[in-house]
Amino acid sequence: MITNSKEETKALGEKLAAYLRPGDVILLSGDLGAGKTTFVSGVAEGLKCGEDVISPTFNILKCYFNGTLPMYHIDAYRLEGQNMELGLEEYIEGDGACFIEWPKYIESLIPDERLEMYLFHEGNSRRIEIKGVGKRGEELEKELKGL
């Protein structure tokens, strides 16, 4: 998939929100500035969270409870090489949709069913590769590719 602006990346996230269910996990990989947080911001709008989404890089986890579905946004970038118990699995396996940026740093916590998204800069555009893993991940992939 290709998005040609920040607004298009955000709109894609907003459209995905309609298909999310409790327990959905979406992994977001890509370089800094590739549009991961922008995509999550669109999801938050689609879920009617009523809050601005900011990157949880320094907080590691941001929770949004005011929408139609709880949303958890994890940024694991600062967890590289760390061996600590933070309780993130409670959110990953929780009652909302969980978005994880830099998932490679918490691989042991990643569930078998998930949607993997890879975002790449291509000039002013973003190329987004999507891969559903497990039954639910494949359902989300189909929905997202159909948008």
Distance CA 122, CA 2 (A): 9
Write down all domains in the chain, each with its CATH number in brackets: 2-145 (3.40.50.300)
- Spatial distance between the Cα atoms of 79 and 74, rounded to a whole number of angstroms: 11
Q: How far is it, in rounded angstroms, from Cα 71 to Cα 147?
A: 21
Angstrom CA distances, 73 to 5, 27, 32, 102, 133, stand at 22, 10, 16, 11, 20
User: What is residue 105's three-state secondary structure?
Assistant: helix
Residues 1 and 144: their CA atoms lie apart, in Å, by 10
Crossing angle (nearest 10°) for helices 6-16 and 134-145: 130
pTM of the model: 0.92
pLDDT in tens, the chain (147 residues): 999 999 999 999 999 999 999 999 999 999 888 999 999 999 999 999 998 898 766 678 999 999 999 999 999 987 766 656 677 888 898 899 999 999 999 998 999 999 999 999 888 899 999 999 999 999 999 999 887
